[in-house]
Structure 1
Amino acid sequence: MSGRTVVVTGGTRGVGAGIARAFAAAGAEVLTCARRPPEVPVPGAEFRPLDLRDPAAVREFFGGLGRIDVLVNNAGGTPYRRLAEADAERHARVVELNLLAPLAASLAAHDGLSRARGSVIMIGSVSGGRPSPGSAAYGAAKAGVENLARSMAVEWAPDVRVNTLVVGMVRTERSHLHYGDEDGLAAVARTVPLGRLADPADVGAAAVFLASDAAAYISGASLLVHGGGERPAFLDAATADRPAADRTTADRPTVDRET
């Protein structure tokens, strides 16, 4: 990535910081932007303040860049909030940050990316492909991001490639807010086929790959970075495949199981 300029939105902590570090380690000039500066500076990355929900400020920011080769739309997130516990305006703010802000940033960066024949990397989520109780607006926005990326990949080809990283559970400095203490984190990790939560560096490595020449023919794709996914809950509830000795009489099937 030497000689290339990479912008990582929300690249000041967690997954975003991991992505910024990965690009810096690959030799890129990295610029991160967020509303607040990082509590811990990201080595090799320059920070500039930006509210991504302000379209005029976003246009000014990208218009002032001399060059941009890669845009990583990472900024996003949501508090835990059940649908009926908030009004539509609060849920709309989640959609604004997680769907409309990446769209605004991509549009503002389009001309620069076209000149560089660069790429956009959307940071999606497994929440966009399954029910997301407690974060329904976030899941809907992430589903939209993945679809948006596929449409952008068609409209902006061949000058700009657009792909999505569909990210699963990641261990960051704020993981305890989602999964609890170390016991909770360990229990959650056991639900992942690879036996652990992702590290931000795992996501960063995948982002560098999608932006690299090795992925020059990849566009409109969704790359799953989720450790193998989530074990279906019904497998732990079903009794049909348990050893006979482990079943109660009530557990034993009386009819053939459908395949």
Structure 2
Amino acid sequence: MSPSSNGSEARAPRSAIVTGGTRGIGRTIAVRLVEAGYQVLVCGRRTPDDLPEGVAFTAADVREPAEASALVSAAVSRFGRLDLVVNNAGGSPPAPAATVSPNLVTAVVRLNLLAPFFVAQAANAVMQDQPGGGLIVNIGSVSAIRPAPGTAAYAAAKGGLEVLTRALALEWAPNVRVNLVTAGVVRTEENAAHYGDEEALAAVAATVPMGRMATPDDIADAVLLLASPLAGYMTGAGLLVDGGGQLPRYADTARPSPAG
């Protein structure tokens, strides 16, 4: 069933693009989509050493409008249609706002805000004219609502992505739905190295009400929910996948003492 279908018609196999789908969260999303019956094309700037079974790859720098458009064309050429786009590519190294270079600020905004716009624009041109329309899911970050030191450009770009999601949903409905998954602290190989050793990771997990960091599968679950018929009326919406946020510093003192 296509992501925008009202349940009256079935289309199989469905097809999807996952940007930045060669590693981390994007790779897990791609694998889960294949398991759900999708044909999946992932992209990255460099060819990966390996790909999961059933996942195709094309090289693309989605920060460039022409390459974003070529990525969508490649998917349509390979699959015949495009049902789902997951704008997952993103990230930023930590950089103090007082000293971060203009070049890095520009690069962070291009990757985390402009690239999703370029891919979505190209995808919409295809989805608007195909039976069943389509779905675009942007992967956001809690940095947009709870920025940490060293993330000013990244937080601003992800905040922009939230607004972009609502704006595109408004313009492109009803044929194309656009939604957002806001990811909390996710444990991947990349950010595990950023946070430090297991003790440091445990300390981060202890700040989350659910008692653990998110996994890439938690984010993939949210994408699959939005791509399912259960979310057929959702557009311009955001799913916050952060385990309840972060406990405030005073949480331990505010908790009632055990009885007796």
The reply to whether TM is greater than 0.5 is yes
Q: 2:142 aligns with which of 116, 126, 129?
A: 126
Q: 1:55 aligns with which of 41, 59, 65?
A: 65
Q: Which has the higher contact order (CA 8 A, sep 6+)?
A: 2
C-alpha separation between the residues in 2 aligned to 1:228 and 1:38? 34
- Is the 8 Å Cα contact of residues 69 and 112 (structure 1) preserved in structure 2? no
C-alpha separation between the residues in 2 aligned to 1:226 and 1:133? 19
Deviation at 1:12, TM superposition (A): 0.7
Query: In structure 1, the residue corresponding to 2:81 is in which secondary structure?
Result: coil
C-alpha separation between the residues in 2 aligned to 1:55 and 1:123? 19
Kindly tell me the number of residue pairs found equivalent between the two proteins.
241
Aligned to 1:112: 126
Give 1 or 2 for the bigger CA radius of gyration.
Answer: 1
Q: 1:34 aligns with which of 33, 44, 49?
A: 44
1:87-102 matched pairs, under 5 angstroms: 87-102=101-116
Deviation at 1:38, TM superposition (A): 2.6
Deviates more, 1:31-40 or 1:15-24: 31-40
C-alpha separation between the residues in 2 aligned to 1:235 and 1:196? 17
Query: In structure 1, the residue corresponding to 2:16 is in which secondary structure?
Result: strand
| Aligned CA-pair RMSD | 1.6
Aligned to 1:253: none
Residue 142 (structure 1) aligned with residue 158 (structure 2): yes
1:56-205 matched pairs, under 5 angstroms: 56-64=66-74, 65=76, 66-114=80-128, 115=130, 116-205=132-221
Q: Point out where structure 1 has 5 or more consecutive residues left out of the alignment.
A: 244-259
Q: Which amino acid aligns with 1:148?
A: L
- Percent identity reads 49
Given the two structures, how large is their TM-score scaled by the length of structure 2? Answer: 0.88
CA deviation string 1:51-110 (max 9, x = no partner): 111111222222342311000000000001111222222111101100000000000111
Q: Point out where structure 2 has 5 or more consecutive residues left out of the alignment.
A: 2-11
Query: In structure 1, the residue corresponding to 2:247 is in which secondary structure?
Result: coil
Q: 2:56 aligns with which of 37, 46, 52?
A: 46
Query: In structure 1, the residue corresponding to 2:136 is in which secondary structure?
Result: strand
CA deviation string 1:149-191 (max 9, x = no partner): 0111110000001100000011112122321011111111111
C-alpha separation between the residues in 2 aligned to 1:40 and 1:233? 43
